[in-house]
Amino acid sequence: MNLMLNMTGVRKTYATGAVEVEALRGIDLQVSAGDYVAIMGPSGSGKSTLMHIIGCLDVPTSGRYELDGSDVSSMSEKQLAEVRNRKIGFVFQSFNLLASLTALRNVELPLVYAGVPATERRERALAALAKVGLADRVQHRPGELSGGQQQRVSVARALVTNPALILADEPTGNLDSHSTAEILDLFAELNTAGRTIVMITHEADVADHAKETVHIYDGLLREQSVGVGAAK
Amino acid sequence: MMGWAETLRTAIAALNARRMRSLLTMLGILIGIAAVMLTVGLGQGASAQITSQINSLGSNLIIVSPSQTTTSGGFRGGGGTASTLTTQDAALLADPAVAPDVAAVAPTSSASGSLQSTESTWTSTVIGTVPDWQRVRAREVANGRFFTDAEVNSSASVAVIGEDTATELFTSANPVGQTISINGQAFTVIGVLKSAGSSLASNDDDTVVVPSTTYAARLSTSSNANSVSSIYLEGKDAESLSAAYQQVKTALLASHQVTSDDADFTVSTQASLVETATSITGIVTLLLGGVAGISLLVGGIGVMNIMLVSVSERVREIGLRKALGATPAIIRRQFLVEAGILGMLGGVVGIALGFIGAAILTPVLGMTVMISIPATLLALVVSLGIGIVAGVYPATRAAKLAPIDALRSE
């Protein structure tokens, strides 16, 4: 099967003052195209560090990481920016929308950095917003939208570049149960349509929506368990 | 790669979101540019004014003036300051064999004199000279006539008066033909000079001109009747002016038996006067412009300061933009463009303020503020440059932010 994400022996060490902290101590993780994986772990487990490396926001100290067939473990900052732009769609816990921009402009942003012409950009952003059910909210600014709507805007932003991987970091952490259900339904829908999704969470009932769950503890992956998502 | 139009749009949106701060930041550049424009404009205006005044003295003018030399004892000859120039010097320079490129010579003596007409009294500068003075100094007679060589030879008691002097002495009657007394000596007014406008130090319209011989015999206070206070000469034309200058200098050095190091006279041309005057105004302009330039520098530091604040405030935004695919180069460009816009807008408004200031100052100071177009364009480029230079450091800081650190900051 085609591997979208292939990590072997990934380690990450931080130097905090004189003390070296080993956040990741040899991670092996494979995610196939079309997979929906939840990564679970308590705080301090190395969960965020793993998410940063998966998202190409940071590079491993050692080990190998291939994303969609290309080795990203030794790329320059500029190359990493391009990989993030083209291959990864981020969904953050705190939405991370720019408050001064409309929903449409927020969704257009990754396309702006990809150098997509204005008309095509607009069309694609409108289509992505329609896909998340916000076709009637495109000119609203984040402040004028509910939390669930804001998170749907950021999902639209993650989708708009047609990325190889959607990386969600605690996507429901700031949402009420209704909006949580909405977003998780949206992810399920996207996964059914063939999207690869990696979701970091610490809530078991959220992780249950994924096809597979991996647990991280003290910088090591413990087990891979199959969630209810796979049964569907 | 992100296009320029998009970079510009983003920069303008960011500046617009912090409108008040952007305006205050621009103010520094604005005041600096306006101050530089006005000080340089005032300097150039003053320089142009002085130049035109010097040029109005006459055309192809050479002026020989005495320079007092100290005696070997080390103190100056006090009392009646006998000039080192004499009518013999003037006669020498009038000789075409000695100074072929000199067209006219007018030895001039002057002193203050008390004037009295039938109507009023007045004090003015009395000049003793020859008919060529009129030609050398480019003066015309508005009413009546100038005195002749014959009148000089006969020491006639005739006087030509300036326009202002005429107004002071005669309220209604035609001055020509009237008798005035100069220091108690009776003179007949034969002409009134056309106005020349006031020049640097003296008012050329408040003067009385009499034949040199009459002046020497009846008005001079000098111990030497032959001495003159200066010699005005006219060169044949502009091309031979420097030749004429050399001839005058050489002839006088030889006849005074001195070297140019201890010369007891100075020869200056209009060009050299203009040069001296413009070099003085140039230095003053440079000093004032320098002070104004410092305010521009301070404005630039203000831009840098605000951009640094902006970067630390927008760490999260920078992190997000990087996560979404902005390369360090794009982030750097973003902040450079923002700083450049601040500088450039400050420059544009500063230039507008400079023009308004020039329009207000010109009548208020009675001096022309000359704002040159190249200088204005330069100001624009400089303000843009200041913005960009001030933006380099903050922009580099923004570009170097690690995306995870930036996203983490709450």
* Assigned token pair, B81: 């300051």
- What is the nearest CA distance from B3 to chain A, expressed in angstroms? 7
Q: Report the alpha-carbon distance of residue A36 to residue A31 in Å, rounded.
A: 8
CB-closest option in B320, B326, B404 to A96: B320
The pLDDT score that the predictor gives to residue B361 is 85
Last residue of a domain, one of B233, B263, B293: B263
Q: Is residue B283 part of a domain?
A: yes
Domain final position from B224, B240, B263? B263
Residue B82: what pLDDT?
54
Report if residue B58 sits inside a domain.
no
Pair B100, B188 in one domain: yes
Q: Do B328 and A81 touch (CB under 8 A)?
A: yes
Phi, psi of B270 (to 5 degrees): -60, -40
Q: What percent of chain B has pLDDT over 90?
A: 32
Highest mean pLDDT among A10-19, A171-180, B67-76, B282-291: A171-180
Looking at the predicted structure, is the pLDDT value of residue A168 above 60? yes
- Name the pairing type of β-strands B61-66 and B207-211: unpaired
Contact B328/A at CB under 8 A: yes
Residue B76 pLDDT: 43
Mean pLDDT of B311-335: 92
Q: Which residues of B242-256 are buried (b: 16+ CB within 10 A; e: fewer)?
A: eebbebbbebbbeeb
According to the model, what pLDDT value does residue A10 have? 93
B292 falls within a domain: yes
pLDDT: which is higher, A130 or B137: A130
Q: What residues of chain B, 287 to 316, have a C-beta less than 8 Å from chain A?
A: 316
Return the residue in B324, B405, B409 with the most chain A beta carbons within 10 A, the one to mutate for interface testing. Answer: B324
Question: How do residues B75-87 score in pLDDT, each as one tens digit?
Answer: 444 434 456 888 8
Q: What are phi and psi of B357, to 5 degrees?
A: -60, -40
Task: Provide the mean pLDDT of chain B.
Answer: 85
* CA trace torsion A200, A205, A211, A215 (10° rounding): 50
Same domain, B101 and B27: no
Highest mean pLDDT out of A43-47, A104-108, B245-249, B357-361: A104-108
For residues A164 and A196, the answer to whether their CB atoms sit within 8 Å is yes
Å between B13 CA and nearest CA of chain A? 8
pLDDT per residue as tens digits for the range A172-185: 988 999 999 999 99
Which carries the bigger pLDDT value, residue B147 or residue B372? B147
The whole-chain average pLDDT of chain A stands at 90
**The model's pTM:** 0.73
- CA-nearest of A222, A214, A193 to A51 is A214
Whether residue B140 sits in one domain with residue B102: yes
Q: How far is A154 from chain B (nearest CA, A)?
A: 11
Same domain as B292, residue B359: yes
A26 torsion bin: left (phi>0), alpha (psi -120 to 50), beta (else): left
- Alpha-carbon distance B410 to B59, whole Å? 78
Q: Which pLDDT belongs to residue B56?
A: 76
Question: How many CB atoms within 10 Å of residue B116?
Answer: 16
Query: Could you tell me which of B336, B352, B296, B366 has the C-alpha nearest to residue B10?
Result: B336
For the cut 70, the answer to whether the pLDDT of residue B196 exceeds it is yes
Same domain, B224 and B357: no
**Domain spanning A35-61+74-231, CATH architecture:** 3-Layer(aba) Sandwich (3.40)
Residues A107-144: b if buried by 16+ CB within 10 A, e if exposed: bbbbbbbbebeeeebbebbbebbebbebeebbebbbee
Q: Which residues, in sequence order, are bridge partners of residue A166?
A: A89, A197
Total domains in the fold of chain B: 2
B372/B303 same-domain check: yes
Does B326 touch chain A if contact means CB atoms closer than 8 Å?
Answer: yes
CB contact under 8 A, B327 and A84: no
| Nearest chain B Cα distance for residue A76, angstroms | 10
**Nearest residue to A90 via CA among A167, A35, A1, A163:** A167
Structure confidence at residue B275 (pLDDT): 84
Stretch (H or E) spanning B66: strand B61-66
Measured distance CA(B194)–CA(B128) in Å, rounded: 18
Give the pair of three-digit tokens for residue B175: 């001055």
What pLDDT does B296 receive? 87
Nearest CA in chain A to B3: A115
In this prediction, residue B307 carries a pLDDT of 92
Classify residue A12 by burial, with Cβ atoms within 10 Å: 0-12, 13-18, 19+.
buried
- For residue B72, what pLDDT is reported? 40
Judge whether B380 lies within some domain.
Answer: yes
Nearest-CA distance A228 → chain B (Å): 31
d(Cα B127, Cα B207) in Å, to the nearest integer?
7
Specify the DSSP element, H or E, that contains A38.
Answer: strand A36-40
Beta bridge partners of B86: B227
How high is the pLDDT of residue B347?
92
Each residue's pLDDT tens digit, B221-256: 777 778 888 899 988 887 888 888 888 888 888 888
Could A112 and B402 be called an inter-chain contact, meaning their C-beta atoms sit closer than 8 Å?
Answer: no
Say yes or no to pLDDT of A115 above 70: yes
Q: Domain of residue B207: give its range.
A: 68-263
Query: Residue A63 above 60 pLDDT?
Result: yes
Closest by CA position to A148, among listed A114, A185, A111: A185
End-of-domain residue from the set B263, B287, B303: B263
Rounded alpha-carbon distances, angstroms, from residue A75 to A57, A81, B330: 11, 10, 18
In this predicted structure, what is the pLDDT of residue B198? 55
pLDDT at B80: 41
Answer for the pair A144, A132: CB distance below 8 angstroms, yes or no.
Answer: no
Mean pLDDT, range B35-58, rounded to an integer: 83
Q: Is the pLDDT of residue B345 over 50?
A: yes
Q: What's the pLDDT score for residue B68?
A: 61
* B 182-221 near A (Cβ less than 8 A): none
Beta bridge partners of A220: A217
Kindly state the tokens that stand for A81: 């920016």
pLDDT of residue A43: 84
A109 and B324 within 8 Å at the Cβ level: the answer is yes
Task: Please answer yes or no on whether B324 and A84 come within 8 Å at the CB atom.
Answer: yes
Contact criterion met (CB below 8 Å) for A30 and A39: no
Q: Mention every residue, 6+ apart, whose C-beta is less than 8 A from residue B218.
A: B155, B157, B185
Average pLDDT over residues B21-36: 91
Cα separation, B278 vs B366, whole angstroms: 19
Instruction: Please tell me which residue of chain A has the smallest CA distance to B404.
Output: A57
Residue B85: closest CA among B93, B77, B97, B76:
B93
Query: Average pLDDT in the B309-314 region?
Result: 91
E strand segments, A92-226: 165-169, 196-201, 212-217, 220-226
Would an 8 Å CB–CB cutoff place B322 in contact with chain A? Answer: yes
Same domain as B94, residue B48 = no
Distance CA A227, CA A225 (A): 6
Residue B271 lies in a domain: no
B399/B331 same-domain check: yes
